[in-house]
Structure 1
Amino acid sequence: MGTNQEATKSAGMRIVPANQAGSADLEMVFGSRGTAWDCQCQWFQNPGKAFDALSVQERAHDLRAQTRCGRPDAPSTSGLVAYLGDEPVGWCAVEPRTAYPRLRTSRVTFGGRDEDKDDVGVWAAVCFVTRTGFRRRGVSRALAAAAVDFARSRGARALEGYPLLLPAGKAPMWGELYVGSRSIFADAGFREIGHPTPRRFVMRIDFEKP
């Protein structure tokens, strides 16, 4: 068993590809109000004005189509769902970086880097959601660890994250907290390869070839 799998088990969580979760489980994680509910993890999928043009119901429909939830035999999915016992408690969006059009023009993602934006071998973990009532239990930390094993097992060459580190007294802007914290990526084995803005980092883990 790999280090990240051990970390996940030690946290007492079961984490599965999102296509193995049900639609009702996703609804419970995203809740019925607040930023996560409003976004439905569609911010990175819909750049420019496309996001604002969608209703919450349309965003939720798109999330379920992307995850292929309730279809355990589906060949692909777009994230992971965490459980404590039988309770769905968390979500992590992780798939090839090319699946997130908003990243293509992001100064955080590509500023100062000569990267092939069409490289499907580089994956990204872009969003973490912890269900209300289950915060401060290490859900995001366990999901970050599981994302490493998931991306590697699906053939990724590398996995990136774009976390936040808030200076003391600074409040987050809309949606920033959902990119994860620097510490959860560092604990999962990522290294810092960029610091493009005062509050954002680029963290990356490269996988050895078999």
Structure 2
Amino acid sequence: MTVEVRPASEFEDVRALLGPKSPQANVCWCLSYRIPSKLNRELRGPARGEHVAELLRSGAPLGVLAYEDGVPVGWAAVAPRADTSFARNRKIPHVDDLPVWSLWCIRVRPGHRGEGLSHALIAGAVEYARAQGAPAVEAYPLDNGDARVDLTMAYPGLRKNFERAGFAHAADTTSVLSGHPRVLMRLDLR
């Protein structure tokens, strides 16, 4: 299989990874950290996908997609931290005032897990942020040690995968997800 990671630009490809099976279902669409919480609560069902389509049309950086032989099989959300709720999050500290980018969600389609796609997605997200002039990329993965993590709640990624990608522990957080603390990991791109 040939894996290619590139910026998300095609709505149908994004929908294949983030959209619900039923159009009326209320799923995240990776908007929870991207938009103000009031808007996040107001957008229901199909309106969530319509909002993502509008963001894509506007050219807003949403993330990257991994393709295996032309089929979308993985997603990583990455955007300037200032454009996310991480800019105001009280549980995840700011290390400094650099205009860093945040990488906060990694998703690999069932049937394609265990193939190293999360590593390719992290690398692709970093390269995309670098190409957009980001001075650093931050991630907020679970610090689970060797403990198993429910796949539904593993979306922020795992600390060990970010360490393998060259990220360093920059700060502890007070955020806990699925019983595991989250840490702030950072990769300097300067």
Per-residue deviation, 1:167: 5.7
Secondary structure of 1:50 counterpart: helix
CA contact (8 A) 1:40 1:56 kept: no
Q: Which amino acid aligns with 1:41?
A: C
Q: 1:191 to 1:54 in 2, by over 3 A?
A: same
Aligned to 1:106: 89
Deviation at 1:165, TM superposition (A): 2.3
Aligned residue for 2:131? Answer: 153
Greater helix proportion: 1
Q: CA RMSD in A?
A: 2.8
Q: Secondary structure in 2 aligned to 1:39?
A: coil
Q: What secondary structure, in the 3-state scheme, does the structure 2 residue paired with 1:129 have? A: strand
TM-score, normalised via structure 1 length: 0.75
Q: Deviations over 1:13-72 (max 9, x none)?
A: 1011112xx3222222225349xx71000110234343222113111112222234xxxx
- Per-residue displacement from partner, 1:138-190 (whole Å, max 9, x unpaired)? 21111001111111111111110000123666765x96421111122111111
> Structure 1 residues 127, 133: closer, same or farther in 2, change over 3 A?
same
Matched, 1:61 2:50: yes
Structure 2 gap ranges (5+): 175-179
Letter in 1 for 2:144: L
Larger CA deviation: 39-48 vs 199-208 = 39-48
What is the TM-score when the length of structure 2 is the normalising length? 0.82
Q: Which residue is equivalent to 1:87?
A: 71
SS for the counterpart of 1:179 is coil
Question: Percent same amino acid at aligned positions?
Answer: 32
> Per the alignment, in what secondary structure is the counterpart of residue 137 of structure 1?
coil
Partners of 1:145 and 1:188 within 8 A in 2? yes
Query: Paired residues, what number?
Result: 183
When residues 56 and 134 of structure 1 are mapped into structure 2, their CA distance, relative to the original with a 3 A threshold, is farther
Instruction: Find the counterpart in structure 2 of residue 125 from structure 1.
Output: 103
Counterpart position of 2:32: 43
Q: 1-side partners of 2:6 and 2:50: how far apart?
A: 20
Moved over 6 A (4+): none
Deviation sequence 1:104-126 (CA, Å, 0-9, x none): 3323421xx4633xx5x311111
CA distance 1:67–1:187, shift in 2 (3 Å): farther
**Residue from 62, 80, 94 that aligns with 1:78:** 62
Letter in 1 for 2:67: Y
Match of 1:18 in 2: 8
5+ residue gaps, structure 1: 1-10, 69-73
Change beyond 3 A, Cα 1:171–1:125: closer
1:204 has 2:186 as partner: yes
